[in-house]
Amino acid sequence: MSLSEKMFGSQRAITIWVISVVFAIVFPAYFSIMANGADGAGGDATGAKGQWQVNFVQDNLTSEETMNLGDGEQGDFFFDLDSGDMMIGYVEITVSCNDNDDPGPGFTDSVDVTTDFSEVEGTPDDESGSGSCNGDAASFTIQITPDWDGSSYIADGVSKNDIEAQWTDGGNGTGEWLTSVILNVNNFPTPVGGIVDSDEDVTVSWRAVLYTLDITAVAEEL
Ligand SMILES: [Ca+2]
Ligand SMILES: [Ca+2]
């Protein structure tokens, strides 16, 4: 029996022993280098508290759909939101219509708007509203990342991890946003009882405001 066989017993034991030694040497060295590298970058370690410039790189996802609705008719408008790798700040929904069918003033058509966000991740609270068809009849802003408005700021005495934990949509807001609109035609009465106004074009538009974080360490004053 050779010396190595006495020490390790078998070829398999030798292999396991060698791998263990390699891990024992390589991993502490790896983490040591990573830690030094982060320190060397001027306090950029994610766990270190310090002063940070916090910016948001923003993008808008927009969509729009128009339907012609008759009196009492309901239109269902869908918006499928996929934010990709970006966070969702908030979603704006605007319902607009412009009644110009009547010969005189007044008799403006109106809309009743409801939503169904049950297919949206995180299930935001539903919205409802009404308005006249002379421009924007109803609009809603649904906040997904709490308190987010896209403003840059300087954070002090917190870590980069703290900032990243604060600005997140938590995976909420993706999915199918449903807005339902019922049109109420207001018809100008003609002497012979004819119908002048029988419908209206209703447009629903969406804007999802997306962002990614851009955090840089503020150089300390000397
Ligand atoms: Ca009308
Ligand atoms: Ca009309």
What is 107-131 written as a DSSP string?
---EEEEEEE-TTBTT-PPP-EEEE
The fold for domain 49-217 equals: Jelly Rolls (2.60.120)
- 7-30: per-residue pLDDT in tens? 556 677 766 665 565 556 565 555
CA separation, residue 35 to residues 40, 98, 109, 165, 213 (Å) = 9, 62, 66, 21, 23
| DSSP code for 198 | -
Q: How far is the CA of 169 from the centre of ligand 2 (A)?
A: 40
Alpha-carbon distances, residue 221 vs 39, 51, 160 (angstroms):
17, 11, 19
CA distances from 82 to 59, 85, 173, 176 (A): 13, 9, 9, 9
Ligand 1 centroid distance, CA of 102 (Å): 5
Question: Which range, of 39-43, 165-169, 174-178, 198-202, averages the lowest pLDDT?
Answer: 39-43
For the chain, the structural domain boundaries read 3-42, 49-217
Nearest to 133 by CA among 208, 187, 189: 187
Ligand 1 centroid to 128 CA: how many Å? 22
Nearest ligand for residue 188 CA: 1
Measure 100 CA to ligand 1 centroid, in angstroms. 7
Instruction: List Cβ neighbours of 172 (8 Å cut-off, separation of 6 or more).
Output: 88, 120, 121, 122, 124, 144
63-119 tens-digit pLDDT:
999 999 999 999 999 999 999 999 999 999 999 999 999 887 889 999 999 999 999
Ligand 2 geometric centre to CA of 72 (Å): 12
Which residues are found with C-beta within 5 Å of the ion, ligand 1?
A: 99, 102, 107, 109, 186, 197
- Res 103: pLDDT: 83
Which pLDDT belongs to residue 43?
A: 47
- pTM of the predicted model, to two decimals? 0.77
